[in-house]
Structure 1
Amino acid sequence: MIFCAFFVFTGAVLGPFFLEKRDLFLSAWLLIRKTNNRNFFKTKLF
């Protein structure tokens, strides 16, 4: 939930830049959901 709020806030601040990178964020988010969340957090978000 915190990450969702973070992405929304980032989108509001960065605006067009976030929209251009939206597909990248969505792809990463889907990948995160498919993989084990614990492994994802160990990588510290990219």
Structure 2
Amino acid sequence: MTNTRYVKSIVAAAAKTEVQMPWTRGARRAAMIARRIAAATPQARSA
């Protein structure tokens, strides 16, 4: 028993989805990480 119809439907669904993968978001992701790091580090207060 082959699942060619099932496999074809899965391939078709995968081809039409437009989900952005993390490695394709380059600059936007780097900016978000930089904001997160900046918020996590405590700011030095002056007297």
TM-score bucket of the superposed structures, by smaller chain: 0.3 to 0.5
- Structure 1 or 2, whichever has the larger Rg, is 2
TM-score by length of 1: 0.36
TM-score by length of 2: 0.35
Higher-RCO chain (CA-CA 8 Å, sequence separation at least 6):
1
Which protein has the bigger helix share? 1
